[in-house]
Structure 1
Amino acid sequence: MSTIYLRFRNRHYAKPDDLILLKDIAQIVAPKELENKIKELPIHQITPEDQHLVVIDMMKVVKIIKQNFEVDVRNIGQPEIIVEILTKLMLKKPNLIAVLFVWILLFVGSGVAIMNFHHDVSMQEVHKRLYYLITGIEKERPLLLQIPYSFGIGLGMILFFNHVFKKKINEEPSPLEVEMFLYQQNLDQYVFLNENTENRKRI
């Protein structure tokens, strides 16, 4: 009996009414005479009832393969894959006005947050004190410290998030990217546990 090895991809994106083939959702290692036939096996037909997410279980895939071929199936990696169905709204280009509105909202919000923080820690008094310690002159607005400090905040944010617009400074992920990755992992785990049809039946 021939042996085939399957490994689910991390995630698959599909359009409404798509027919999902095995090659779309998994990497396959199989004997050459079977490989192409196994890759073209239909696994799931997207329907309106699927809504936004579909969880495909390895057991379902093994069952379909076994119905068509006499082979030994071995799974490497995770036992489920999430298929995300891209709706017309998701495929639509973002509205420039909406993007601009969100950008202004975030810009103003972050600016207010920074100003409130500086007010809470009395940053102006700290600058005045530092200026006096360095120069021996008392000044109400020590711009010599405040201007470089303001530019330093912006530079610090760029280094922290590791991005200048769409360009990355280096290959290391930023803290925001790491948090988004962990959030996506937790979200996927929740979907695996709650959207899987086998789990639903058991519950």
Structure 2
Amino acid sequence: MNIEISQPANLPSRFGMFKVKAFKEGAKEHLVIAKEPFGEVVNVRIHSECLTGDAIGSLKCDCRDQLEASLKYIEEHNGMVIYLRQEGRNIGLLNKINAYALQDKGFDTIEANHQLGFKADERTYEIVDFILKHYGITKINLLTNNPKKLMGLKGAQIVNRIPIVIKANKYNEDYLKVKKEQMGHLLDK
């Protein structure tokens, strides 16, 4: 794995003061947003990019809410958010918008991905193992509802899963239902 790594930099944000570092993997540039000092067990959120949710505030998903809850948690308890450039469960922005168009016609998120020739979730997490090794992290508390993330990490022991509880809205109720019932997401209510 040929990865370029930036220098660390300060990032004051509305969630707190963080250190950031970028990891360039081919054409994808991932970001670590960290608050130190880390303990023996590090709080980690693996967050996949969602331009429509994270930047625009789309109500069709819970991505921005999960990101904001994670940044607040990391500010309070230290740790890191690993922001992966895997837009639309790694199908890319163009295909994600095409999937949205299919959803407008009644397909759920998984059906829409299948119509476009993709699996329900195309994301991978090898870069996370690389990042954790880079920081010397071997034990983590993982902020997630996604069981694939619990199984996808090889380089660190997951000591605890910290659920991210987000209240549904009328636009993302079906989306969250599909995540829970078809993708096995651990949506604690």
TM-score range (shorter-chain normalised) is: under 0.3
Q: Which has the larger radius of gyration?
A: 1
Structure number with higher helix proportion: 1
TM-score for the superposition, normalised by structure 2: 0.21
TM-score for the superposition, normalised by structure 1: 0.20
Structure number with higher strand proportion: 2
